[in-house]
Each structure stands twice: as C-alpha cells, then as structure tokens.
Amino acid sequence: MPEFTQPSEIAREVLRRLAQQRIPPTPDNYLRLYHEIAGTQVVETFPERSLKTMVAGLPRNTPEQSKMVRQLENAIAARQWGGLAAAMKELMSKAGEAHPDWAGVIREILIQSETPAVGLTVAKKREALDHVLTSSANPEMLLQRLNSLMRSWSQSHVSEGVQLVDGVAEPPLPRGTPPTAAAPASGAAGKVLNPELRDLVGQLLENGIATLVADSADLGEEALALAASIRAVVSAEELTAFHGRLKKFTYRLQFVAEDQAEMRGSLLHLLKLLVENISEIVVDDQWLQGQIAIVADLVSQPPDLRRLDDVERKLKDLIYKQGALKKSLSDAQDRLKSMLATFVDRLADFSASTGDYHDKIEHCAQRISRAGDITELTDVLDEVMRETRVIQISARNSRDELMEMRHRADEAEKEIFRLQKELAEASDMVRHDALTGALNRRGMDEALEREVARARRHGGGVCMALLDVDNFKRINDSLGHEAGDAALVHLVRVVKDTIRPQDTLARYGGEEFVILLPDTSLDDSVNAMTRVQRELTRRFFMHKNEKLLITFSCGVAELGGEEPPADGLKRADAAMYLAKRGGKNRVVAAC
C-alpha cells in the first residue's frame, strides 16, 4: 500500500475510501480515516464554544452560584480540562455537604435573646436580629452573621439581678451597701477615664470610620454622633451606654463592609469580562491591544493604590503618544487618498483627450477618402500632425504627473508603515516594567509560554530562577523609596549585563525577579546565578557617593517535561526561601 505524506494526497485517499467503502461522509468518519491513513492519533478538540453556551445559561442568583460560574468560565477560557474537572468536583462536593443545623441556631437565638446583657435590651437585640435577617443575601452569609451576633451577645452577659432599662444597664450593688454609697463609684470611674484615649477614639470615629462609610449617610451620621458622645463621657453609666451604642454600630459596620467587599469583587469581575470581550473584538487593532493588556493585568490582581497610580501614569503616556501617532497616520492616509483621487481625475482627463483624438483622426480619414487633389491631402495631413503633437504633449505631461504621484504615494505608504510600526511598539511598551525596563508579569507570562513551547517542540529544557533582594525593606526605610527604586534599577542593569542575550529577565513583583534560562541545565543555571551575585559584589550601588552592597537570595528550578510553569515557579520560590533561611546571598537548586 503506498504511503501518503502530503495533506492533499491524504485528503484524496480519504474521499476515495469513503466512496469505496460506502461510508457516510460525516466529519467524524472523515477525521477517523484521515488520521488512520496519516498514521497519527486523533486529538480531541476542546469544545470551548459549546461549553461557553452551556455556562452562559447557568443561574447566577446567589454569590455562591456566581462564584462557581466564574470558576467554570475561567477554566473554559484557559482551555483546561483539569480546571473544569476541579470546578465540577467542587460543585458536587458542595451539593453533598450537610446542611446547617438551623434548628440549633434558632434555639440558641431564642436563649440568647432572653439572657440579660450589658447595654442590650430585648428591643435592641430584636432590632439587631432584624437587620441581620434583612441584609444577608444568601444562607451562608446569614449563618455567619447569626453566629457572629450570638457570640457578641454571649460576651455581654451580666449576672442575675441586673436590671435593664431602655438602653442603660445598672450594675448591682454589693449586699448591705446603702444606696448613697454608690455615688462615689461614678466619680471614681470618671477619674480613671483617660481624656487622651477618649479624644483618640473620637478622632478614629470622626476622621477614619465616618470617611470610610461616606456612601452610607446614616452610618456616617452615627459615627459622628458616637465621636461626640465619647468625648462627653465622664461617668461609668455614660461609658456603659456608649459601649452598647458602639457595639451596635460595629455590627452594622461589619455588614456594610461585607456588602462593599462583595460589590467590589463583582464589579472587578464585570470589568474583567468587559476587557476580555473588547480584546476579542479589536483583535486587529494592534495599537489598542497594549491598553487592553495593561487594564486586564490590573483587574487580575487585588487593587492597590500604588499599582493604580503606576497604571494611570503609563496609560496617560501611552494614550498621549498614540494620539500623536494616530493623527500623523490619519494625515498620511488622507494625503494618500487625495493622491488617488487626483490619479483617477488624470486618467479621466487622459481618456477624454484620447477619445477626442480618435474622433478627429477618424474625421481626417474621411476627408482623405473624399480628397480630390494633393492640396486637400496636405491640409488633412497638417491637421493630423497637429492633433498628434497635442496628444503627444498631453500624454508626456500625464506620464510625468503620474510618475510624480507614484513617487509621492510610495513615500506616503512608507510613512504609514512607519507610523503603524511606532503604534505597535508603543503598545508593546506596556509589557515592560516602567521603573526597571524589565518585562512585567504579562511580558513574563508570554515569554515563559513561548520558551516552554519551543523547548518542548525541540526537546530542550528551561530553567527558572526566582531571586529576591536581601534586606530591601531596610533600604527603603533607611534611605527612602527613591533609593530603593534606584537600587532595583542598578540590580536589573547588572543582571542584564551578566546573563546571555537569549535569557529573559522579568520583574515578578516588588523586589522579586524571574530569569528564564533556555537550553540550560540546572547546575549551569545555578552557576549563572552565582556569577550574577559575584558581579553585584564587584559593582557597588552608589547612593549619594556612598557604596552600598546589594545581594539577593535565589532559587533555581528546572521545568519538567509536562510540568506546568506555575508549578516550576512554586518550586523555585520554595528554594529561594531556603536560601533566605540559610543566611541569604545564596543560590539553592529546587528539588
């Protein structure tokens, strides 16, 4: 049987066998025969579109359902069967979990609601319970808040005989003590209240908490009222009343904080979905991909003010530069359009001139056929020569103009290509760390994916080195953040000068960096990192004419055959911490 190597030959043989064996020409039959003839294995395709359609119809009525749907969406987007299986296992395990003991919870609530507590009347307990019931969005949150409420009630229990009035708890008097003897106690309690502590608590409520809950008007007003109350406390009775109000305010504040955290998470997820959708829609607009990439990287991590400021600054610079380049590109395209319109007009004029010339030549031919003597022929020939010279001049002028327009069009095309290249380069700038010039996390992920794919394709290896600057916090605290930034720039400069051109340096976060060493064994990678350490000890970091020695601890891991890159980084991270515990300024190979 002849062997088929070319795809076209295999395809023809598949069609021939389908017809010969009278097999229905379905996609599955075609694919099975194709791999059978080619001698390859059928690779099951990931049904991404079908799975997305299925997940899109899942309910999202509760936060738990929304979380599970997001986990499924992330696994489908990453095309990972393992992640999909893990999400399904978690879903089934939650479905099999035992339900909360609601009967016990209700019984405990009834007991706690009737038990006396300092600063809490039955009415206040009912009010707090009603707030928990109305503000809890799902059973899990309701159970958590009910348990928290009961714990707070149990911590406020008082002994028997305590008489609770509306909002104020009166402590019982010792047996045999006359009523008048209790008066000095209040004065004594008032003396031990620290005025500075009262003012500090007032400032916390007024300047801190009231600002944080500015979106909730009633909570903000309550915080200001509590601040005024604590400053006016002079007796134990007033302090007890304030304690009850503060505890109630704390419950409400806890619920508001949980709601805001859940809302922030939902908004971040919504923004992430929006950015992912935009990135798929504008896949051909390379100049926009950089902005999408930096926003996607931002929303994939917990919010941080320093990161937000850094991203805002980079986006502003990028948008300004791209705006200027975009205007120049638009002007160049307009010039090219104008030249094309002029070219069409010239062609129309030349066509009209040629048409007139042919009409006149035809008229002259008729005159020649009717000529009776040589004099008439001479007049006709003169007219033919005159019209021919006119069309010749017109053709030469049109040719010169067209050549000039072609030259200008070539220049405009080169200018457009140059501007498009600059736009793409400006977009790619967001893959680099603004401070050090090394790749950022997104650039590192792309480089890691590229190197791992190349290594597995060619049967090579990849080592990953994770290094962390020793005592970096001490540098920031003693010399300032500006000196710390300069130290990181110095480190990156030394590392780039020491490693090979094919090695990749990326900032992993803070003072941590990752170096990818393709086609390098584990021992050679450890030696390479040791050379970088020696170079750092030779090239001191200068700060205000003072030499400072910068060292780092490093862990090196060699990526296994089918090992995920994330697992290799975890092993390198563990080895790096071993180097830290071993005395710092060391390089440790991962197991």
Q: Tens of pLDDT along 245-263?
A: 888 888 788 777 777 777 7
Q: From CA 329, how far away is CA 335, in angstroms rounded?
A: 10
**H or E element at residue 517:** strand 512-518
Once rounded to an integer, what is the mean pLDDT over residues 145-170?
Answer: 57
Question: Hey, what are 39's tokens?
Answer: 């001698």
Quote the pLDDT of residue 177.
43
Average pLDDT on 556-578 reads 91
Span 94-112, average pLDDT: 73
Query: What is the reported pLDDT for 183?
Result: 40
**Letter string b/e over residues 488-512, b meaning 16 or more CB atoms within 10 A of that residue's CB:** bebbbebbeebbeeebbbbbbeebb
Q: What would the mean pLDDT of 91-95 be, rounded to a whole number?
A: 68
**Cα 590 from chain centroid (whole Å):** 29
Of residues 470, 466, 465, the one with CA closest to residue 552:
470
**Which carries the bigger pLDDT value, residue 471 or residue 350?**
471
The mean pLDDT value for 425-436 works out to: 69
- Residue matched to tokens 């500015």: 214
pLDDT at 376: 66
Q: Best-predicted range by mean pLDDT among 3-17, 153-167, 231-245, 493-507? A: 493-507
**Higher per-residue pLDDT: 35 or 350:** 35
pLDDT over 90, % of the chain: 16
pLDDT tens for 295-342 read 666 666 666 555 566 566 666 666 666 666 566 667 766 766 676 666
For residue 513, CA distances in Å to 444, 464, 469, 488, 491 come to 10, 10, 9, 10, 10
Q: Is pLDDT above 60 for 446?
A: yes
Q: In this structure, what DSSP letter does residue 484 have?
A: H
The token pair at 310 is 């850094």
Find the mean pLDDT for residues 547-566.
91
Q: What is the DSSP string of 70-120?
A: HHHHHHHHTT-HHHHHHHHHHHHHHHTSPPP-HHHHHHHHHHHHHS-BTTB
Mean pLDDT of the chain: 76
Instruction: Note whether 507 and 501 are within 8 A (CB).
Output: no
**Per-residue confidence band for 557, with pLDDT thresholds at 50, 70 and 90:** very high
| Helix then strand then coil, % of the chain, to nearest 5 | 70, 10, 20
Q: What is the pLDDT of residue 505?
A: 94
The predicted structure's pLDDT at residue 338: 72
Q: If you search the block for the tokens 């104008």, which residue do you land on? A: 338
Report whether pLDDT(283) > 70.
no
**Best mean pLDDT range from 84-88, 255-259, 307-311, 458-462:** 458-462
Token pair for 125: 């307990």
Phi, psi at 61, each rounded to 5°: -75, -25
The secondary structure of residue 521, as a DSSP letter, is -
Instruction: Look at residues 466, 440, 463 and name the one whose alpha carbon lies nearest to residue 573.
Output: 466
Give the whole-angstrom CA distance, residue 242 versus residue 493.
59
30 — pLDDT class (breaks 50, 70, 90): confident
Report percent pLDDT > 70 for the chain. Answer: 70
Residue whose pair of structure tokens reads 């009343």 in the numeric block? 241
d(CA 82, CA 299): 24
Q: Which of 557, 432, 560 is nearest to 504 (CA)?
A: 432
Residue where the block lists tokens 């908490």: 209
Query: Is pLDDT larger for residue 349 or for residue 457?
Result: 457
Judge contact between 110 and 101, C-beta under 8 A.
no
200 to each of 6, 231, 250, 273, how far by Cα in Å?
Answer: 82, 9, 17, 44
Q: Is the pLDDT assigned to residue 573 strictly greater than 50? A: yes
